Amino acid sequence: MPQHAIVTDDPRLNYMVVTPEPEADVPEGCCGLCPNTTITNIDKYDYYVPLPKDESVHKEPLPMSFLQIKEGDVEGGIQWYRQHYPKLPDELVEIMARYNFGDLKYATRKSIKNNTKKYKKKHKESPPLCKGLTASKGKHIVTFD
C-alpha cells in the first residue's frame, strides 16, 4: 500500500495520505481516510510571530491576527478584542483598541493634559470620565433589596 507524508513545520498539520483498502466500508461523509474525531475550524488557528531580541514593549509573541489589523482601524481592533477576550467589558475593549490601533497609541501625558484643557475651555466643564458614567456630589442613600 503506497503512503505519502505531508510534513510541515507545525506538527498539527502533518498528514499521512494512504490509498483506501478496496474491501473497507467507507462511512458516509468520509473519503476513505481515517475519520477525524475532532474538527477544528481554520479560524481557530492563530500563529504567533516571534519577537525581535531588542523588543521591550511586548513580553510574549504576538498572534498573526493581531498584527494584520491596520494602523488606525479601531473598529477592527475592537472586534479582535471581543473575539479573543469575550469576558472584557466593552468600555475596556474600546480603550485597549484605541491604545493599540488608534489615537491613544501616541498620546503622552502632556498631550492628554492639553486636550483636557481645550475641552474645558470649549465646553466650560471637565470631560466625562467614561461613557455613561456620571459622578454626582452630595449625600446619597443606597438601599440593597
41 lies in some domain: no
Closest CA to 94 of 130, 121, 58: 130
Of 101, 43, 48, 44, whose CA–CA distance to 71 is shortest?
101
Structural domain containing residue 58: 48-123
Distance CA 21, CA 62 (A): 44
In angstroms, the Cα distances linking 112 to 74, 104, 115 are: 19, 9, 5
Q: What is the pLDDT of residues 52-101, one digit of tens each?
A: 777 666 777 888 888 888 888 889 999 999 988 899 998 889 888 888 88
pTM of the model: 0.51
Q: Is residue 1 part of a domain?
A: no
Set of cell numbers at residue 99:
491604545
Number of domains in the chain: 1
Give the pLDDT band (50/70/90) at residue 28.
low
The whole-angstrom separation of Cα 89 and Cα 120 is 28
The verdict on residue 68 lying in a domain is: yes
